[in-house]
Amino acid sequence: MKTGREILLTAIVGFIFMFALPLLLSHYTLTVLTAFAILALSLGFVWGYGGILCFGQAAFYGLGGYAFAVAAINTQMPWLGFLAAILIPAIVAALLGAMMFYGRLSDVYMAVVTLVFTLILFKFMNTTAGEAYRIGSARLGGYNGIPGFPTLTKPWNPTDYLYNESLYYFAFLLLIALYLIVRLILKSPFGRALVGIRENELRAELMGYDVRLLKTVAFTIGGAIAGIAGCIFANWAEIITPNMFSLGQSSEIIIWTIVGGAGTLAGPIIGAGVLGYLKIALGENSGLNNFFIMGIVLIAAVLFLPRGIFPTVQSLLSRVSLGRPRQRISRRRRSRAG
């Protein structure tokens, strides 16, 4: 019953935002910010709750985009592409996760492996300009990426493309749905065990939880969500390039998550929205270099707001409002990880 109320409340808040935001920004800008938010949600789950610091979440994001484009071109059925954008990153995440967690790699080594994995994809995709690199009728296109694939249509009318406003509402509904799904996962025994593992892996094992399996499953879910984000991005940009796999992209995801607040779900979403918008806004007037600003933001966040903006604001508010402190699983591990 309590869960039911929370779902309802979240959905209402989500809908309010969904309809209020277009008053401030164009649907078009909001769509890509929503894709970023979904991407941040995926890392927020994997890192904030699973305790798995993945330096290569961009890999699944890019795989989602490419899986969508390739499947859509080959089948001319974009919704099959949507399915592929979930399944392929999930399968790849499952394999990579199994390799890491069953191999018992520690934090740093995991960071290296995920980073290297992303780099390999990035380098490989950049070399696929030749005609030989095609999957079915889809040319991978190398550095220039894949333009001109069919995008998502309204399921009841295959000639009516999801475009601009309709794409935005679709993306935002997905965001709300994914947020709720992740919430429910975290409330389930699996989710609680996951948080338990984050807090103390050995203890969880001694309780009888198969840490390797649970982490692999969590990593797979994260990969699938990132894949969905990649698919939304592909539909928005109508072109995908290997840049989706770049180190810059990977770092942005981590920055969104840490600035927003790892260990919460709303934090990364807000971080992605705000910083993603900042990046677009900065392009309208070139004064300071964008990397410079992002870098300073990240350093400042680590030094001064190690818990992130959202949790800090939240605890300030709860202190001010004298309300009962929300029962929240705080994320302490990050500050003492290592």
Partner 1 sequence: MDYAVVVIIEVLYAISVLALISAGLAVIFGMMRVINLAHGEFLVLGSYAAIFSNRYGVPIYLAILVAAPLAGAVWGFIVERLIVRWLYGRLINTMLATWGLSLAMMGAFVMIFGNTQTGISAPIAGFTVGAYQINGYNLFIIAMAIVVMAGLYAVMKGTRAGLVARAAMQRPDMAQAFGYNTSQVYMWTFVAGSALAGLAGGILTPIFGAIPSGGANYIAKAFITVITGGASVVSGTLASASILGLVYQIFTFLSTSVVGEIALLIAAVVLLRILPTGITGRFLRNRV
Partner 2 sequence: MKLSRRNLLKGSAAAGALAALPPMAIADDVIKVGSIHDLSGIFDIYGKPMDKAVGLVIDEINAGGGLLGMKLEKISYDTQSDMALYTQYAQQLTRQDHVNVVHGGILSASREAIRPTLRKAETLYFYNTQYEGGVCDRNIFCTGVTPAQQSEVLLPAIINKWGKKIYSLAADYNYGQITAKWVQHYAQANGGEIVQTDFFPLDVADFGATITKIQEAKPDIVMSILVGGAHMSFYRQWAAAGMNAKIPMASTTLCVGNEHRVLTPAEGNGIMVAYSWSQERDTTENKAFLEKWQKAFGSTDDLHELAVATYSGMNLWAEGVRKAGSVDRMKVIEALETGISFEGPAGKITIDPPTHHAINDVLLMQVEDQKMKVLEVFPQRPPVDTQAVCDLKKNPDDNQQYEIKI
Partner 3 sequence: MPGNAVVETQGLSVHFGGVAALDRVSVAIAEKELRCLIGPNGAGKSTFFKCLTGQLKPSEGTVQIRGEDTTGWNPHEIARLGVGIKTQVPSVMNGLTARENIWLAAKRRNTARQADRIVAETLDRLKLGEFAGTEVVRLAHGQRQLVELGIVLAGKPWLILLDEPAAGLTGEEVQRMVEVIREMNTEASLIIVEHDMHFIRSIAKIVTVFHQGRVLIEAPVETVLADQKVRDVYLGRKG
Least Cβ distance, residue 155 to partner 2 (angstroms): 22
Name the residue nearer to partner 1 (CB basis): 27 or 307. 307
Least Cβ distance, residue 206 to partner 2 (angstroms): 47
319 is an interface residue for partner 3 by CB under 8 A: no
Residue pair 216/101 in contact by the 8 Å Cβ criterion: yes
Separation CA 84–CA 80 (nearest Å):
6
Q: Is 286 left (phi over 0), alpha (psi -120 to 50) or beta?
A: beta
Name the residue nearer to partner 3 (CB basis): 27 or 331. 331
283 binds, among partner 2, partner 1, partner 3, none (CB under 5 to 8 A by kind): partner 2
Which two structure tokens, joined as six digits, stand for 174? 């997905």
Separation CA 64–CA 151 (nearest Å):
14
160 binds, among partner 2, partner 3, partner 1, none (CB under 5 to 8 A by kind): none
Residue pair 215/50 in contact by the 8 Å Cβ criterion: yes
- Number of neighbouring beta carbons within 10 Å of residue 104: 11
- Number of neighbouring beta carbons within 10 Å of residue 144: 14
Separation CA 197–CA 211 (nearest Å):
7
6 is an interface residue for partner 3 by CB under 8 A: no
208 binds, among partner 1, partner 3, partner 2, none (CB under 5 to 8 A by kind): partner 3
119 binds, among partner 1, partner 3, partner 2, none (CB under 5 to 8 A by kind): partner 1
Least Cβ distance, residue 35 to partner 1 (angstroms): 21
Burial string for 80-89 (b: 16+ CB within 10 Å, else e) reads ebbebbbebb
CA 21 to centroid of chain Cα atoms: 20
Residues with Cβ within 8 Å of residue 48, at least 6 apart in sequence: 257, 261, 262, 263, 264, 265, 267, 268, 331
Stretch (H or E) spanning 266: helix 266-282
280 is an interface residue for partner 1 by CB under 8 A: no
Contact residues for partner 2, defined by CB under 8 A: 24-26, 28-29, 32, 123, 126-127, 129-131, 141-145, 147-148, 233, 236-239, 241, 243, 277-287, 289-290
Name the residue nearer to partner 1 (CB basis): 104 or 203. 104
Name the residue nearer to partner 3 (CB basis): 263 or 268. 263
Least Cβ distance, residue 193 to partner 3 (angstroms): 6
Residue pair 261/329 in contact by the 8 Å Cβ criterion: no
Q: Parallel, antiparallel, or unpaired: how do β-strands 239-240 and 157-161 relate?
A: unpaired
Q: Out of 94, 115, 180, 186, name the contact with partner 1 by CB under 8 A.
A: 115
Binding mask 171-210 for partner 3 (x = CB under 8 A): ------------------x--xx-xx-xxx-xxxxxxxxx
Residue pair 231/85 in contact by the 8 Å Cβ criterion: yes
Least Cβ distance, residue 46 to partner 2 (angstroms): 23
The 3-state DSSP class for residue 146 equals strand
Name the residue nearer to partner 2 (CB basis): 77 or 282. 282
CA angle 305–190–251, rounded 5-degree value = 35
> Nearest 5°: phi and psi at 31?
-65, -45
Of 296-315, binders to partner 1 (CB under 8 A) are 296-303, 306
Residue pair 152/146 in contact by the 8 Å Cβ criterion: no
282 is an interface residue for partner 1 by CB under 8 A: no
Least Cβ distance, residue 255 to partner 1 (angstroms): 8
Interface residues toward partner 1, by CB under 8 A:
53, 99, 103-109, 111-113, 115-117, 119-120, 123-124, 126-127, 247, 251, 254-255, 258, 288-303, 306, 334-338
User: Which residues contact partner 3 by CB under 8 A?
Assistant: 189, 192-193, 195-196, 198-200, 202-211, 327, 329-333
